[in-house]
Amino acid sequence: MDFIKELETELVEAQNLPDFKSGDTITVSYKIKEGTKERIQQFQGVVLQRKGSDATGTFTVRKMSGNVGVERIFPSASPSIDSITVNKRGVVRRARIFYFRERTGKSARIKERRIYN
């Protein structure tokens, strides 16, 4: 099994993604190809889950677009991810906060995790 781990670290270039977990609000900047041009689009929302690890890992980000919830699953090793910034660290008790989908309005708030130095 170590062969796979070795290979994954070797083949997947170090992405230097910031550390984030479910409940955090992040902005994902990802590259979009339009014909021959490439541009960067942003997707800001709450992380619902992180899944897998290394080369096969993904994370789900949910945002409200008007009244409609939009979820996007990004492979964390994808080269089309330009950068990720963590906007807010949230306090949640679960690794996968699917209950968050049913929440709207005031209940769809996540307490912020304060980091004291």
Partner 1 sequence: MPGIIGRKIGMTSIYSAEGKAMPCTVIEAGPCVVTQVKTQDRDGYEAVQMGFGDRKEKNTPSAMKGHFKKAKTDPKSKLVEFKGFENLNLGDIVNVDIFEEGEYVGVVGTSKGKGFQGVVKRHGFAGVGQATHGQHNRLRAPGSIGAASYPARVFKGMRMAGQMGNERVKMENLQVLKVLADKNLIVVKGSVPGAKGSTVIIEK
| Residue ranges binding partner 1 (CB under 8 A) | 1, 3-4, 6-8, 11-12, 31, 54-56, 75, 77-80
Looking up tokens 């980000």 gives 61
Query: For residues 11 and 64, which CB has a smaller minimum distance to partner 1 in the complex?
Result: 11
Distance CA 5, CA 100 (A): 33
Query: For residues 57 and 69, which CB has a smaller minimum distance to partner 1 in the complex?
Result: 57
Query: For residues 12 and 86, which CB has a smaller minimum distance to partner 1 in the complex?
Result: 12
| 2 class by beta-carbon count within 10 Å (0-12 exposed, 13-18 middle, 19+ buried) | exposed
**Which residues lie closer than 8 Å to 62 by C-beta, 6 or more apart?**
45, 46, 48, 69, 70, 71, 100, 101
Closest approach, Cβ 22 to partner 1, in A, equals 22
Residue 99, classed as helix, strand or coil, is helix
Closest approach, Cβ 53 to partner 1, in A, equals 11
Closest approach, Cβ 41 to partner 1, in A, equals 14
Closest approach, Cβ 77 to partner 1, in A, equals 7
